[in-house]
A and B are shown apart, each in its own frame.
Chain A
Amino acid sequence: MINVSNLRKTFDTIEALKSISFNIPQGECYGLLGPNGAGKTTTISIMSTIVTPNEGEVSIAGYDLKKNPLDCKKNIGVVTQELALYNELSAYGNLLFWGSLYDIPKPNLIRRIDEIVNLLGLADRKNDKVKSYSGGMKRRINIASALLHRPKVLFMDEPTVGIDPQSRNLIFEVVEQLHKEGMTIVYTTHYMEEAERLCDRVGIIDNGEIIAQGTLDELRTSGSMKETVVISFTNLSDERFTIITNEWNDLQRFDDTLHFYSMNIQSDLSKIILTCNEVGLDIKHIDIRKINLETIFLSLTGRQLRDK
């Protein structure tokens, strides 16, 4: 459904994208995960036809972006990071306006608006001015405005920024529903929980490059990454630490806490606990840190995904 090859974009002296390539089959939810300034929005902006790349090819729904931008535009819906809504108009007025840009016959458009405001739980407030809405409600209307023309591909650029947990969950449910209905979705975020929950595949982007991509399982195995068992003790001494390192060499000490690293935590956990008991260590607390996108990103870049 989407083919991106060797995409490059520079803004003055800044190289925003350095030869990015990926393919997204129909019906897939593809996550672009990366920190702020990594190149996610630039990639989405190019695919949305509003930024011209310096090099590279993009095709959407079989249409070449350079040769047939209008056909591409008709097949995409874009949920922008900004709340692109007219505050003085009602939700209905906003949706009527955005829908009219796609030449949808008015009776069909009105039916579609009703359908979407119901899906997004805003039917009761559709005639209120958008300025009276909460941030989460505005986000939902912003999403609704991108769905009116039933696009084949939906680009969502950080659609949950600055909203309450209730609206966030509702947006997740809507994305999951659209995914189930077979819509192809490109979802950018710097929240790994969102990518883990919603996306079939993830492309990790950093400094304008896709540094890894695949399903979460593929990313876990490709990096030979280890899971961690973090155990804190009440009686960890230097002597006991020396004994335990003879039994288990892939570990690190942080004061009264030991980090045990393992490729297969399920089989190794009982062995670790048994060793600790044999050495006479009293366990205070156990924490298992599984591999997730955050740890994958950390291992790939040496940096946290979000600034702490």
Chain B
Amino acid sequence: MITLVKKDLTLFFSNKQDMLLTFALPIIFITLFASVFGKMNNSEEGKVVGLVHSVAGTAVMMLLFSVAGIGGSLLDEKQEGMLKKLLCSPVPPNHILFGKMIFANIISIVQLVIMFVYAWLMFGLDILHHLPSLVLMIVTIAFACSGFGVVLASFAKTREQVQGFSTIIVLVMSAIGGSMIPLVAMPEIMQKIAVFTVNYWGIQGVYDIFWKLVPLTNITFLSRVLVLIGIGTLLNVLALLMFKKNILKIV
């Protein structure tokens, strides 16, 4: 399994386009949104909220796009015959999926870390005083989002389908979940629907850390962590079931 993860990481870091889309593009979006939302409020607290919203909203949305691409690579491997060859090797079939999940988690964590470090360096987001909570939140958001990528690949037949589905699903989830517009500005019904998106739980968790300044042991904060873990577990189990049913059907 380590061999599989190492191979995926080598391929990822040797592909400039993937690097650009995963790391540079989110930074551009954060810069744009932080500039816009930061100027909409004159108060100090308002500026912080604007910045936190920009970072959290963009981070989760861009992360969902990235993991959809990672999930798509599983279908590339199926189409190009690598999966068939892997299945002929002594590697247990489930390890192929677990390897992809670990790879997606690593890339997700790196992407989130880069975004938060960028927000700290460029906009002064105080990550150093909330490091333990932030680390926990980053890991759980990465876990929940990476499951999304793999489950999407398990349902689709080709990478093109993944791209099509992911664009629609990510944009809808981001619009409903508060990645684009802060939830407080949305009607009450939309705020209720938002709880069904991974964006909502991720953004609220980051709000808790940087805006509401709750401690790591806060029940509300921990409940959001648990929900994210639950979403990740559900998606990964679903992906495993679908992987056996759909992706392993080689011929």
What residues make up the interface of A, taking CB atoms closer than 8 Å to B? Answer: 11, 41-42, 45, 48-51, 70, 73-74, 76, 78, 80-86, 88-89, 93, 97-98, 100-103, 145
Contact = CB atoms under 8 A, between A and B. Distances in A.
Given A86-B11, A88-B11, A101-B3, A74 B90 contact: yes
A84 B251 CA distance: 15
Interface string B62-79: 000000000000000000
Interface string B119-145: 000000000000000000000000000
Contacts of B3: 97, 100-101
Nearest to B11: A88
A102 B11 contact: no
Contact of A70 (B10, B15, B90, B250): B90
A50 B84 contact: yes
B42 interface: no
B90 A80 contact: no
Given A84-B80, A84-B82, A42 B88 contact: no
A11 B88 CA distance: 20
A42 B251 CA distance: 8
Given A81-B81, A82-B81, A86-B82, A49 B88 contact: yes
B36 interface: no
B89 interface: yes
B82 A51 contact: no
Nearest to A103: B90
B89 A101 contact: yes
A78 B10 contact: no
25 contacts: A11-B251, A41-B251, A42-B251, A45-B250, A49-B88, A50-B251, A51-B250, A70-B90, A74-B90, A76-B88, A78-B88, A80-B81, A82-B84, A84-B84, A86-B7, A86-B82, A88-B11, A89-B14, A93-B10, A97-B7, A98-B85, A100-B3, A101-B86, A102-B90, A103-B90
A103 B15 CA distance: 27
B81 A50 contact: no
Which size class do B's interface residues fall under?
10 to 19
B4 to A, nearest CB: 8
A73 B88 contact: yes
Closest 9 A-B residue pairs measured CB to CB? A82-B81, A84-B81, A84-B85, A78-B88, A101-B89, A100-B3, A50-B87, A84-B82, A48-B88
B32 interface: no
A41 B14 CA distance: 34
Contacts of B251: 11, 41-42, 45, 50-51
A56 to B, nearest CB: 16
B91 interface: yes
Contacts of B89: 73, 98, 101-102
Contacts of A81: 81
Contacts of A76: 88
B76 to A, nearest CB: 10
A88 B14 CA distance: 7
A97 B251 CA distance: 24
Nearest to B83: A84
Interface in B72-124: 80-82, 84-91
Nearest to B86: A101
A288 to B, nearest CB: 42
Most chain B CB inside 10 Å of its own CB: which residue of A49, A50, A80, A83: A50
Nearest to B92: A70
Interface in B206-251: 250-251
